[in-house]
Amino acid sequence: MVNKNYKYFDITEKIIGCALKIHNKLGNGFQEVIYQRCLEVEFNKAGLVYEREKEMDVYYERVLVGNRRVDFLVEGRVLVELKAVTQMEEVNKAQIINYLEAYNLEVALLINFGAKSLEVKRFINTIRTADHADFNDFTDYI
């Protein structure tokens, strides 16, 4: 059961609904970019404001050291990273944690279209400061 008290639940519920609709229609087996394009269509239909392939700066010790593109930044608050793999790995989780910390965001969704059932992992950065981040993660399997 999904907790409606999650931070930005209203946004993440819509994102997950869009992903579920796509997975129900297409199933697994396509490349990640196909699901990304489909999500863009569904986000537009759902009235979500988003940036696709959002380029964001990465800082180390408050020094700009590079940048990275995230799949989506939705409503300026929720980072969405897509995968199309048969099994998610710890490196996927580490990537999201690094993004939340580097971009000083609170909530992220890791969505995997590659499994037989859609997999959604929600990440919550519970302590959000420039110097420290602490993470709780909750898994929603759909």
Domain tally for the chain?
1
Q: Is there a domain that residue 126 lies in?
A: yes
pLDDT digit string (tens) for 124-133? 987 654 444 4
Q: Is there a domain that residue 2 lies in?
A: no
Burial class (CB in 10 A: 0-12, 13-18, 19+), 18: buried
Q: Encoding tokens for residue 136? A: 């709780």
Domain hosting 128: range is 9-141
Q: Does the pLDDT of residue 36 top 50, yes or no?
A: yes
3-state SS record for 43-102: HHHHCCCEEEEEEEEEEECCEEEEEEEEEEEECCCEEEEEECCCCCCHHHHHHHHHHHHH
pTM of the model: 0.85
Q: Is there a domain that residue 110 lies in?
A: yes
Give the total residue count for the chain: 142
Query: What CATH number is given to the structural domain containing 79?
Result: 3.40.1350
